Amino acid sequence: MRAPILFLLCVSLKKPIQEYDDLIKTIKDTYPNHCKLLLSQWLVETDETPAEIYKNLKEFLDDNDEMIINKLVKPYYRKLIKSKKDWIDEHI
């Protein structure tokens, strides 16, 4: 088993009426160590690879949707509310 890594998930669902609800529920259920950063950006702590994360979430994406998954490492910069800063500091 690999050591947990912090990944940033950025998602853009393109359909005007497309809902994020099922995607959000799956992120929360699959990755208990998560933090919602911005409108469609999440941090998840997992020992999975980016490809494995994508495999878990791809069913919620249409062909024209976009997603990028990248590792969050130091150094980095953030301007966030305190609870989000604290969450990142605790997990990175």
Q: What percent of the chain shows pLDDT beyond 90?
A: 67
Residue 34 burial by CB count (10 A; 0-12/13-18/19+): exposed, middle or buried? buried
CATH of 5-91, one of 3.30.540.10, 1.10.8.350, 3.30.70.240, 3.90.1150.10: 3.30.70.240
Give the pLDDT confidence of 19-38 residue by residue, as tens digits. Answer: 778 899 999 999 999 999 99
In whole angstroms, how far apart are CA 7 and each of 25, 30, 41, 64, 90? 17, 14, 10, 22, 14
What predicted TM-score, i.e. pTM, was given to this entire model?
Answer: 0.88
Q: How confident is the model at residue 87 (pLDDT cuts 50, 70, 90)?
A: very high
